[in-house]
Amino acid sequence: MSFGVGKFKKVHISLGLINRDEDKAQFDALLGNWKKYSSSVNGGVALGQSVLNHMSIYWRYRLSVAILRTDPAHAERAGRSGKQRQLTPEQQTIKQNEQAFAKDRKSLEQEASKRRAVYYTESSRRESAEQGLAAAKSSPGYTNQVPMWETQVATAKQAEDKAHDEWRQAQAKVDGAANDSELIANLDSYDQWLLEDAKLIHGWHKEAPNKRLRPHYKALVEAYDEVVVRQQPMAAESDLFKFFNLYVHDSLAGFATDNTRPSDPRVIYIGGDIKKAYAAAPTSDKTTALV
């Protein structure tokens, strides 16, 4: 709230407490997209089933956008000398946002650098004061200066601590600053991996249709069959596409810090380190599990 981020509720809209037409229009758009999504998910079921319902819709969007972004006109390709990459609207937005983010980071980095220099200066002064104190204590002729040096050491230490705190606060802003400089490249990688995974699992299922599939992967196979094989992607103009595209972030590509595949099931923690086994293959029959 201290940074000016508003918190609006539906009641605020109905009571007319938000007067800006732009805010209301954005809220109405989000509400419309959310209603379409929530009605499609059917949230009135158990947690695990609700997540599986979500993934069946999300896979359709995720594969649709992966196909769009890996289209030769948009995708990063080797040997495109002389041909500038044509960005999708989403990629263009990422690029424009990053330009603003980079400007902010530069300003924050400059401030952190100044604070770091101040800290180093204060640290050097504290060290000098401590050396003076040590010399006074070891020299009988200067013991009368010990109180003075002790005061200087205390003052210098206080200034050093303050400078260190201000530097770390400034550096924390740098470390926490938005940085999408690698996001488009990361999205390229995860798009490629998802399409590879989905194609492979779809092929396995086609070769052995009687083998069981975990419901998570069954939804992926069905979405791949619809979006890629039958070439029926989710319409970019649809409410569901807009909901995911505008309001749901891709945490895998956003962080890109581990070996999680985009096709992997999401983990649901239900307390402590306990995981809910919602994505397991059905065990009501004795057929072999595929994946």
CA distances from 98 to 73, 92, 148, 149, 229 (A): 22, 10, 53, 51, 35
| Residue 52 burial (CB count, 10 A) | 21
Q: How far apart are CA 222 and CA 225, in angstroms?
A: 5
Q: How far apart are CA 2 and CA 84, in angstroms?
A: 42
Contacts of 196 (CB under 8 A, 6+ apart): none
The amino acid at residue 166 is E
8 A C-beta contact, residue 58 and residue 176: no
61 contacts 246 by C-beta, under 8 angstroms: no
| Residue pLDDT tens, the chain, 291 long | 455 555 555 544 444 555 566 677 888 888 888 888 888 887 678 888 888 889 999 999 999 999 988 876 655 544 444 456 678 888 888 999 999 999 999 999 999 999 999 999 999 999 999 999 999 999 988 999 999 999 999 999 999 999 999 999 999 999 999 999 998 888 888 999 999 999 999 999 999 988 888 899 999 999 999 999 999 999 989 999 999 988 887 777 777 777 888 898 888 888 889 988 887 776 655 555 555
pLDDT value at residue 8: 53
pLDDT, residue 78, reads 43
Q: DSSP labels for 139-183?
A: -GGGGGGHHHHHHHHHHHHHHHHHHHHHHHHHHHHHHTS---TTH
First to last CA, the chain: 46
User: DSSP assignment of the chain, as one string?
Assistant: -TT------HHHHHTT----HHHHHHHHHHHHHHHHHHHHHT-SS-HHHHHHHHHHHHHHHHHHHHHHHTSTTTS--TT-TT------HHHHHHHHHHHHHHHHHHHHHHHHHHHHHHHHHHHHHHHHHHHHHHHHHH-GGGGGGHHHHHHHHHHHHHHHHHHHHHHHHHHHHHHTS---TTHHHHHHHHHHHHHHHHHHHHHHHHH-TTSB--HHHHHHHHHHIIIIIS--PPPTTSHHHHHHHHH---HHHHH--S---TTSPPP-B-STT-B---SPPP-SS-PPB--
Q: What is the pLDDT of residue 131?
A: 96
Predicted local distance difference test score (pLDDT) of residue 231:
93
pTM of this structure: 0.71
Sign for the CA dihedral angle at 102, 108, 114, 119 comes to negative
With beta carbons less than 8 A apart as the criterion, state whether 190 and 253 touch. yes
Residue 269: φ, ψ to 5°: -95, 130
